[in-house]
Amino acid sequence: MHEPENATKAPESDVEERSAFPGDSTVDQGASLGEHCVTDRPTPAGEAPTGEISKLGNTEVYITKPSDYPHAPSKLLLLLTGGTGIKSVNNQIQADKYAQEGFLVVMPDQFANDPAPNSTDPTYVSQPETPTIIERVKLGVTETAKSFLIDMWLARHTPEKVLPILQDVLEKAKEEFADAVANGGGVYAVGYCFGAKYVLLLGSELKDTVAWGEKVRDEEEGVKTKGPSIKVGAIAHGTMITKEDIEGIKVPISMACVENDQLFPDEVREEGKKALAAGVVEHEVKVYEGVPHGFAVLGDYADGKIVEKQKEAFQQMLGWLKSH
């Protein structure tokens, strides 16, 4: 059986590090998720969340609305985060920015109150620009342990676990915000890092045993497919994405990618683009140079060029949503 080409690899026994951006954290080449997927950058000065955390069904969600809603029509946007989850202030502010542009944003806790290891630590600690040998050894040990914890965490959050949560939230959101769904002609979706894969899956036709956690009820009838569950999607620097994930997409999709991103390799991206073109799926793919994986998630950087690229990626994704 052909093994799908993953955008990530399992950790190796020997940890290889690189400091791609002086002043930022080192990147573990073999990690399943990068540092930027599980640790927040400093929150930009003067920014604070304006939405609130509530519940849709059994799932906690961060909800943020346009200031003139419901007096003015809105569109429903599902925002799926990286490993830092809905309690991340940066993720909340990111959702608010879409709300300021006219979207009613629902950001679900797709991890069932189990965000990635260390993601609840609000303090961002950068690594030395030129670490000593002892510091490099310490960093190596730390990164190896962190990779192990992240892999254990990922094993707890598979499509079989995450998709039923998202489907339930979608159903509840469609009921509560039926006006926004009707106004937009469906549900819009954006995803960052971990969440990007699930935007692709929600935009595909999925076997009901995966998407809904159902068992095959009729052996003769077999497994049914359901979906797509969204109208249009936009993603930034996805992780754990396979060629098959991209090949399955049936809705217009925009992708903000990072050049030479080991968590979303160029070959996976390029094969995916070919599949989208062959399937006549409307798409756009933009590759950003000189930025780290995770750059599109709201957060401050010492390098002003990265901050500008972050804003550019937001405009790319926002523009795609508004044009559909």
pLDDT in tens, 19-53: 322 233 333 333 456 666 778 899 999 999 999 99
Per-residue pLDDT tens digits for 197-256? 999 999 999 887 776 666 665 656 667 788 899 999 999 999 999 999 999 999 999 999
The conformational region for residue 294 under phi > 0 = left, psi -120 to 50 = alpha, else beta, is left
Q: How far apart are CA 198 and CA 241, in angstroms?
A: 9
Asked whether the beta carbons of 245 and 197 are under 8 A apart, the reply is yes
Q: Please calculate the CA angle 239-283-164 and round it to the nearest 5 degrees.
A: 50
Q: Is 2's pLDDT higher than 50?
A: no
Least confident among 18-22, 66-70, 278-282, 315-319: 18-22
CA distance 283 to 111: 28
Task: Please report the pLDDT score of residue 117 as a whole number.
Answer: 82
- Separation CA 72–CA 104 (nearest Å): 11
Determine the number of helices (DSSP H) and then strands (DSSP E) in the chain: 10, 12
Please determine, for residue 176, whether its predicted confidence score (pLDDT) is greater than 60.
yes
The DSSP string of 209-277 is: HHHS-PPPS-TTT---EE----SEEEEES-SS--HHHHHTB-S-EEEEEETT-TTS-HHHHHHHHHHHH
Rounded CA-CA distance 129/121 in Å is 22
Domains within the chain, CATH numbers bracketed: 17-322 (3.40.50.1820)
- pLDDT value at position 38? 76
CA distance linking residue 115 with residue 157, whole number of Å: 10
pLDDT value at residue 121: 40
Which among 65, 127, 133, 122 has a CA at the least distance from the CA of 99? 65
Decide if pLDDT at 138 tops 90: no
Higher pLDDT, 146 or 171: 171
Residue range 66-86: mean pLDDT, rounded: 95
Give mean pLDDT, residues 276-288.
95
pLDDT band at 89 (very low <50, low <70, confident <90, very high): very high
- State residue 215's pLDDT score: 63
pLDDT of residue 128 exceeding 50: no
pLDDT category at 285 given cuts 50, 70, 90 is very high
State how far Cα 163 lies from the chain centre: 14
Sole residue written with tokens 């944003």? 105
- pLDDT at 107 > cutoff 60: yes
pLDDT band at 119 (very low <50, low <70, confident <90, very high): low
Q: What is the pLDDT of residue 157?
A: 87
Q: Which has more pLDDT, 123 or 211?
A: 211
Pairwise CA distance, residues 318 & 50, whole Å:
19
Residue % of the chain over a pLDDT of 70:
75
40 Rama class: left (phi>0) / alpha (psi -120 to 50) / beta: beta
pLDDT score recorded for residue 145: 55
